[in-house]
């Protein structure tokens, strides 16, 4: 796995903050700010809610403003996902609720206390519009809220001595830390209004402190979803080799990825090796793990689907991209404030500020500035980093909206003469990657076209053919790369040889993935061979059927006959293999003045009634050979005799002129020459 460092020039920022930040009142003595990962809402609570609560979020059109009675300092405040119920925690013993309608509280609070007198609440989470989970130091309490009755019904209680918990709204996974070190993680999965307990797992922690104290903290554990798989990321800080040693810690941090499988306990599957240690935070973006390092103000990007070193169980990955930075961000200052201070109307924002708090999956909050952003991925700078094209395409193929970037990279790889540095086998492997996705897409299309019984359908969708994020098909390659390349190409042999090489390679890859090659791709190849004058080489391609048969290609070959006579043979052979091209073969043979051959072919291959007598008689007359004309004329007379009991032609066949011609040549009398005699001539 190669590691690429990007120079921090203007166009080279892979990460950026969303242009429209959400502004909220910064934290002060009287103002508290809360963020809820489930609803992605930021709450600003002034004076315990008495002078107003303001709720904003990236998913909300308009902020919600309301007041609640100040009954003490708010410790936590969260809406139910549908914003119908507000939960406020002010003490460690109970949570209060208020129903909302039309974003206005009804003013009546109801309360739920945790069980047991020595129990304290660690926190709570809304797992659905009515399912409410209370996590305490004694266990998990699952309630169903019945807002009409202003009452909570206890659903289930899981007993566990928790230190802290994290919840992933994407998967419904609740992770509770227990044990004196905090390294024992108990996952619960919320599904269908039920909270299921999954298999507990231990995060190994070398050299635990004596006496035992909490070592694994909430901040370092991130449950999330990558490539439709539930995973838990655990950030591990370097440990001191010897607890008594006062030496500086020189090791590097790593992230351990635990994957939660359906029927087996969570398993350690990946180790992401970081270049740094210190204050780290994780964002998840487009199935990527982005690790931010505050001290160096850089981020590293990991993709667990890329290949790394594997010991058979655990894959060790180095960052796909290291030391990338977030694009500088400028904050607009309200016009009046700017005027007052004679300052520019924009100020640059400190990136990786100590005031930044990272929330899942990709939310960044600066509590002092009062800003909320989502982190965004910009793929275009990758165009300049094609040192390892195979890995780059592995990466791009997994991203959403990567097609423009991928096309740009591809066109650079395939452009002449720049890409002479790219080895053809490498290009071939890139094509293979693209065509594998292309094949999957085609499989899915085929499956959707075949009507399948319900049972079989499920089986089919469960197969490996996952709908690819990006498909670069033959039309894309042709219109975006090949066609412009041919239009602008220098008229030299080297370029045509290059075109032959890359297009052959592309076809090789398509064939390998059993994708039918479109004739316009072949045309590029054939025309390049023709420009090079390498007709014999072209011939070999056809000889091995490396070019699929089609009528357009047969026509193209016929057009090459004047420069390469053998193309005629290739064309007519191709037409023979195409089942419905017999008429064309007859036409070609007639145009070659091979009237009797054409007639014999037609006799064997075409229903006798549908052979046009006029066409053959005309060609026979043009051949200037009376014996040929005689044979053809006799053949059709006999056909008429058999079909209609009379040798005469029908009016609609327009053969009168040929009957006259026959009389002119041979008179009225019957000849003794039989049909078979004349047909075996020539």
Partner 1 sequence: MTNSESEKSHSLVNFFVFDTSRNFPEDEEYKSIIYYYPKETSKDTQMKEIGRTAAILKFSQTFGTSGNCHSLHTRKTRQYFNEPEPGFCMAMTVKLPNMSLHNDLEPHDKVFNSLLVHSYHMFRLFMGTMSSALKVSEQPEEELEQLKLRAAYFYSKHLQMMPLEDADLADAFLGIQFLPMDKLSFLKVRSLVSHVEQTFPCITSTTVLYQDQIIWTGLCQDDIQLIYNYLTTKLFPASLSLNTETRFLTGPADVHSLTSEMRIPHVFLNHSQTIPDECQLVVYRIAGVTVCLFIPASVELDHDFFASLDLIVGPRIVALSADVAEQALVRKTNSSLNTGTDSIRFLYFNQWNMAFKSTLHQSIPGHRRILQCQPSANNDVIKTCADLCEDFSSFGEGEILVKTKSDAWVIGKLSNQRHLYVVVTRKNAELVDICDEVRRLRNLLFKDILLLE
191 lies in the binding site for partner 1 (CB under 8 A) = no
604 lies in the binding site for partner 1 (CB under 8 A) = yes
Report the residue number, 545 or 644, with the smaller CB distance to partner 1.
Answer: 545
Phi, psi values for residue 670, rounded to 5°: -75, 145
307 lies in the binding site for partner 1 (CB under 8 A) = no
544 lies in the binding site for partner 1 (CB under 8 A) = yes
The CA distance from 162 to 139, in Å, is 7
CA 235, 120, 145: angle at the middle one, nearest 5?
Answer: 95
10: tokens are 């203007």
Report the residue number, 364 or 413, with the smaller CB distance to partner 1.
Answer: 413
CB of 413 to partner 1, least distance (A): 13
543 lies in the binding site for partner 1 (CB under 8 A) = yes
531 lies in the binding site for partner 1 (CB under 8 A) = no
Placement of tokens 């700078």 in the chain: 381
Q: Which of residues 66-125 bind partner 1 (CB under 8 A)?
A: none
Given 218, 350, 473, 573, the residue binding partner 1 (CB under 8 A): 573
Report the residue number, 216 or 602, with the smaller CB distance to partner 1.
Answer: 602
Are the C-beta atoms of 539 and 570 separated by less than 8 Å? yes
Given 23, 539, 551, 661, the residue binding partner 1 (CB under 8 A): 539
CB of 495 to partner 1, least distance (A): 13
576 lies in the binding site for partner 1 (CB under 8 A) = yes
545 lies in the binding site for partner 1 (CB under 8 A) = yes
Q: Which of 214, 184, 308 is nearest to 254 (CA)?
A: 308
Number of residues that bind partner 1 (CB under 8 A): 41
CB of 535 to partner 1, least distance (A): 9
CB of 637 to partner 1, least distance (A): 21
Q: Residue 384 gets which letter from DSSP?
A: G
SS3 223: strand
Q: Which of residues 407-426 bind partner 1 (CB under 8 A)?
A: 420, 423-425
Binding region for partner 1 (CB under 8 A) out of 122-130, 384-392, 541-549, 550-558: 541-549
Report the residue number, 60 or 546, with the smaller CB distance to partner 1.
Answer: 546
CA 107, 109, 115: angle at the middle one, nearest 5?
Answer: 170
Report the residue number, 27 or 605, with the smaller CB distance to partner 1.
Answer: 605
SS3 26: coil
14 lies in the binding site for partner 1 (CB under 8 A) = no
The CA distance from 455 to 56, in Å, is 45
562 lies in the binding site for partner 1 (CB under 8 A) = no
The CA distance from 638 to 631, in Å, is 11
Given 92, 540, 591, 638, the residue binding partner 1 (CB under 8 A): 540
- Give the CA dihedral 216, 218, 219, 222, nearest 10 degrees: 100
Phi, psi values for residue 339, rounded to 5°: -60, -45
Report the residue number, 469 or 504, with the smaller CB distance to partner 1.
Answer: 504
485 lies in the binding site for partner 1 (CB under 8 A) = no
- Counting other chains too, the contacts that 257-265 makes at CB distance below 8 Å and 24 or more residues apart are 257/226, 257/231, 257/232, 257/233, 257/304, 258/201, 258/231, 258/232, 258/233, 258/234, 259/229, 259/230, 259/231, 260/173, 260/187, 260/198, 260/229, 260/230, 260/231, 260/232, 264/199, 265/199, 265/200, 265/201
**Cα–chain-centroid distance for residue 207?**
42
515 lies in the binding site for partner 1 (CB under 8 A) = no
Binding region for partner 1 (CB under 8 A) out of 3-11, 24-32, 98-106, 589-597: 589-597
Given 21, 585, 590, 619, the residue binding partner 1 (CB under 8 A): 585
Report the residue number, 340 or 420, with the smaller CB distance to partner 1.
Answer: 420
Are the C-beta atoms of 120 and 93 separated by less than 8 Å? yes
Sheet with 121-126, side-by-side order of all strands: 121-126, 131-136, 139-146, 151-159
Report the residue number, 74 or 620, with the smaller CB distance to partner 1.
Answer: 620
The residues that touch partner 1, with contacts defined as CB under 8 A, are 420, 423-425, 428, 497, 500-501, 504-505, 507-508, 511-512, 534, 536-537, 539-541, 543-546, 565-566, 568-569, 572-573, 575-577, 585, 589, 594, 597, 600-601, 604, 682
């Amino acid at each position: 796995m190669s590691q690429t460092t990007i120079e921090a020039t203007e166009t080279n920022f892979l990460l950026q903050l969303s242009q429209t930040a959400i502004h909220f009142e910064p934290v002060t003595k009287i103002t508290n700010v809360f963020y809820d990962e489930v609803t992605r809402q930021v709450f600003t609570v002034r004076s315990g809610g008495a002078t107003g609560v303001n709720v904003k979020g990236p998913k909300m059109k308009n902020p919600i403003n309301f007041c609640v009675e100040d009954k003490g300092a708010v410790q936590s405040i969260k809406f139910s996902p549908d914003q119908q119920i507000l939960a406020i925690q002010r003490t460690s013993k109970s949570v209060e609720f208020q129903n909302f309608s039309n974003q206005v509280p009804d003013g009546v609070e109801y309360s739920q206390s945790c069980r047991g007198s020595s129990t304290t609440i660690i926190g709570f989470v809304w797992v659905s519009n009515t399912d409410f989970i209370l996590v305490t130091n004694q266990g998990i309490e699952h309630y169903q809220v019945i807002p009409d009755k202003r009452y909570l019904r206890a659903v289930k209680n899981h007993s566990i001595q928790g230190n802290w918990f994290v919840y992933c709204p994407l998967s419904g996974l609740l992770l509770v830390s227990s044990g004196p070190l905090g390294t024992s993680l108990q996952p619960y999965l919320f599904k269908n209004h039920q909270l299921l307990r999954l298999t507990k797992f231990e995060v190994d922690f070398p050299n635990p402190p004596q006496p035992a104290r909490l070592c694994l903290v909430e901040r370092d554990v991130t449950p999330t979803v990558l490539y439709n798989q539930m995973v838990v990321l655990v950030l591990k800080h370097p440990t001191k080799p010897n607890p008594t040693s006062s030496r500086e810690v020189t090791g590097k941090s790593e992230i351990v990825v635990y994957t939660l499988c359906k029927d087996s306990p969570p398993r350690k599957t990946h180790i992401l090796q970081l270049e740094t240690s210190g204050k780290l935070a994780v964002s998840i973006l487009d199935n990527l793990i982005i690790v931010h390092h505050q001290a160096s103000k850089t981020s590293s990007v990991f993709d667990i689907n890329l290949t790394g070193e594997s010991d058979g169980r655990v894959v060790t990955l180095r960052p796909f991209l290291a030391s990338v930075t977030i694009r500088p961000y400028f904050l607009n200052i309200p016009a009046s404030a700017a005027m007052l201070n004679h300052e520019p109307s924009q100020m640059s924002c400190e990136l990786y500020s100590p005031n930044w708090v990272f929330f899942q999956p990709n939310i960044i909050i600066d509590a002092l500035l009062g800003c909320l952003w989502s982190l965004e991925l910009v793929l275009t700078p990758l165009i300049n980093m094609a040192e390892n094209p195979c890995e780059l395409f592995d990466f791009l193929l997994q991203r959403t909206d990567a097609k423009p970037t991928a096309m740009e990279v591809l066109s650079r790889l395939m452009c002449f003469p720049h890409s002479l540095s790219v080895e053809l086998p490498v290009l071939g492997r890139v094509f293979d990657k693209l065509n594998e996705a292309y094949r999957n897409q085609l499989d899915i299309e085929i499956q959707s076209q075949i009507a399948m019984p319900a049972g079989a359908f499920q089986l089919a969708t469960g197969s490996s053919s996952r709908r690819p994020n990006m498909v670069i098909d033959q039309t894309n390659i042709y219109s975006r790369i090949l066609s412009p390349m041919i239009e602008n190409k220098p008229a030299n042999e080297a370029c045509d040889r290059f075109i032959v090489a890359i297009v052959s390679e592309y076809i090789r890859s398509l064939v390998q993935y059993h994708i039918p090659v479109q004739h316009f791709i072949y045309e590029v190849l054939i025309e390049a061979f023709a420009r090079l004058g390498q007709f014999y080489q072209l011939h070999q391609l056809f000889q091995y059927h490396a070019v699929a048969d089609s009528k357009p290609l047969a026509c193209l070959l016929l057009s090459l006959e004047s420069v390469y006579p053998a193309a005629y043979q290739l064309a007519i052979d191709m037409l023979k293999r195409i089942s419905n091209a017999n008429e064309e073969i007859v036409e070609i043979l007639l145009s070659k003045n091979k009237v009797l051959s054409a007639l014999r072919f037609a006799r064997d291959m075409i229903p006798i009634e549908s052979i046009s007598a006029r066409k053959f008689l005309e060609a026979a007359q043009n051949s200037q050979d009376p014996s040929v004309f005689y044979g053809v004329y006799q053949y059709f007379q006999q056909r008429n005799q058999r079909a209609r009991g009379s040798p005469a032609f029908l009016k609609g066949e327009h053969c009168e002129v040929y009957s006259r011609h026959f009389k002119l040549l041979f008179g009225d009398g019957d000849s003794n020459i039989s049909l078979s005699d004349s047909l075996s001539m020539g």
